[in-house]
Amino acid sequence: MLTIDLSGRTALVTGATGQLGRVMVRTLARAGADIIVHYHRNARQAELLVQEIRTLNRAAIAVAADVTDSAAVAGLKSRAEKELRAPDIIVVNAVSQYQWTAVLQQPLADYESQYRACVTQTVLLAQAFVPGMIDKKWGRVIGINTECAMQYAKTTSAYIAGKRGMDGVLRVLAREVGEHGITVNQVAPGWTISEDCPDSDATLDYRAPVPLKRRGTAQEIANAVAFLASDMAGFISGVYLPVCGGNVMPAI
């Protein structure tokens, strides 16, 4: 029986206190990884997650940081190395929220915030932690992208611009660091069931064209992340992996 074994690994999940972040943290911990729980403001949820991870006999710390700020990321790195260890696995998950509207009405500040959340975060985390992975000759960088990056739906321009920028950075990084035993991949969720948006008849219009005729769960996204973090995916790099029931299909 094949199992995902991350024993001896340490994972950093940014935006870990969100619903998807929490499920990814739990999944990686159950697979054996120690966890650096990153959060921005939700200290209570972060500490609850740390306590939960420790009940699984895994080490965990919670660290607050603005991952779009170079000094804050340097502080995150310092605390990780001092209180646990540098991560072998980075999951770039933190996002910023804003009001979606048409290109002609979208404030420029929203494009700038999405660039910082998607591109700047990715670059800063890579610059902080990938050199340590190079030294160890092993590492995983996993970006959480979106099916929206292939859809171009109305009102999504700022979000798509940021995520497609992330895609470019991660694909280039995959070429630059692959020789050191480091893989760089992306998981692209569809419209995932969440506490804020449960599955209901109101989502029928979304589900109708999805080949699997349903929305995904956070656990299904986390399973893909855990797989890409594992040695079973050791020869997979540069991938944009939709986890959306076939709603988008990258072409060859």
Q: Please name the residues in contact with 68: beta carbons below 8 A apart, sequence gap of 6 or more.
A: 116, 117, 120, 121, 124
Which range of residues forms the domain containing residue 148? Answer: 10-243
Q: For 194-249, give the DSSP string.
A: -SSS---GGGHHHHTTSTT-S---HHHHHHHHHHHHSGGGTT--S-EEEESTTSS-
pLDDT digits (tens, 9 = 90+) for 53-101: 999 999 999 999 999 999 999 999 999 999 999 999 999 999 999 999 9
The radius of gyration computed from the CA coordinates of the chain, to the nearest angstrom, equals: 17
Residue 106 domain-assigned (yes or no): yes
Whether residue 181 is predicted with pLDDT greater than 90 in this model: the reply is yes
Contact present, 20 and 226 (Cβ < 8 Å): no
d(CA 43, CA 81) in angstroms, rounded, equals: 20
Can you tell me the mean pLDDT for 137-163? 98
The alpha carbon dihedral of 224, 171, 77, 136 has a sign of positive
Residue 249 domain-assigned (yes or no): no
In the 8-state DSSP scheme, what is residue 17? T
Residue 252 domain-assigned (yes or no): no
pLDDT digits (tens, 9 = 90+) for 185-213: 999 999 999 887 888 887 889 999 999 99
Looking at residue 39, which CATH number applies to its domain? 3.40.50.720
Residue 248 domain-assigned (yes or no): no
Residue 52 domain-assigned (yes or no): yes
Query: Which of 228, 120, 221, 224 shows the shortest CA–CA distance to 174?
Result: 228
Residue 204 domain-assigned (yes or no): yes
What total number of domains does the chain contain?
1
Residue 250 domain-assigned (yes or no): no
Quick one: pLDDT at residue 67?
A: 98
pTM of the full structure: 0.97
Total number of residues shown for the chain: 252
Angle between helices 121-136 and 157-177 (to 10 degrees): 20
H helices present in 36-107, as ranges: 43-55, 70-83
Quick one: pLDDT at residue 107?
A: 98
Question: What is the four-CA torsion angle of 189, 194, 199, 205, rounded to 10 degrees?
Answer: -40
pLDDT digits (tens, 9 = 90+) for 9-49: 999 999 999 999 999 999 999 999 999 999 999 999 999 99
- 149: confidence class by pLDDT, cuts 50, 70, 90: very high
Quick one: pLDDT at residue 1?
A: 78
Mean model confidence pLDDT for the chain: 97
Residue 4 domain-assigned (yes or no): no
Quick one: pLDDT at residue 195?
A: 83
